[in-house]
Amino acid sequence: MGENIKNRPQELTKAELEIMQVIWQKEKVLIHDILSELPEPKPAYNTVSTIVRILENKGFVSHKAYGRTYEYFPVVAKEDYTNTYMRTVLDNFFEGSLSCMVNFFSSQKSISLEETDEILKILGGQK
């Protein structure tokens, strides 16, 4: 795990990301484990199985076979995917400017005094 995903330009679809969240959380799962974690209305078993195979083809998960049963596990760490995804958002929508991104979010949603303090503490720790 923790493999670099710079060679994987593709983003995850909403359905793929929902399933990856379960796989990242559980670390090792069977298809029925994933199904039990998904909200209602639950997709069909075959749908989840197909999405997991797509994730495997994309290089995000792998499996270990126990007879006809497959146990899936993440190959890409959540943090690595998040870093790559957020860098893409920053570059594509905010010209690589973190201050532009923060300005955008602060104009969309009121930032509380507590959140402002937390942001300042985070930025202060980076110097």
Q: Per-residue pLDDT tens for 16-64?
A: 999 999 999 999 999 999 999 999 999 999 999 999 999 999 999 999 9
Q: With left for phi above 0 and alpha for psi between -120 and 50, is residue 96 left, alpha or beta?
A: left
Q: Which residue has the tokens 């959140």?
A: 115
Nearest residue to 70 (alpha-carbon basis) of 92, 53, 51: 53
Q: Bigger pLDDT: 1 or 111?
A: 111
Which residues make up the CATH 1.10.10.10 domain(s) of the chain? Answer: 14-75
Evaluate if residue 9 carries a pLDDT over 70: no
Tokens, residue 102: 């923060």
Evaluate if residue 76 carries a pLDDT over 80: yes
Of 26-30, 79-83, 90-94, 121-125, the range with the lowest mean pLDDT is 121-125
pLDDT at 107: 82
Tokens, residue 103: 């300005």
Reported pTM: 0.77
Q: With left for phi above 0 and alpha for psi between -120 and 50, is residue 59 left, alpha or beta?
A: left
Average pLDDT estimate for 10-20:
93
DSSP 29: B
Side-chain-side CA neighbours of 11 within 13 Å: the count stands at: 10
pLDDT at 20: 97
- Under the banding of pLDDT at 50, 70 and 90, the label for residue 114 is confident
- Under the banding of pLDDT at 50, 70 and 90, the label for residue 123 is confident
Do 23 and 74 contact (CB within 8 A), yes or no?
A: yes
CB atoms within 10 A of CB 38: 15
| CATH number of the domain located at residue range(s) 14-75 in this protein | 1.10.10.10
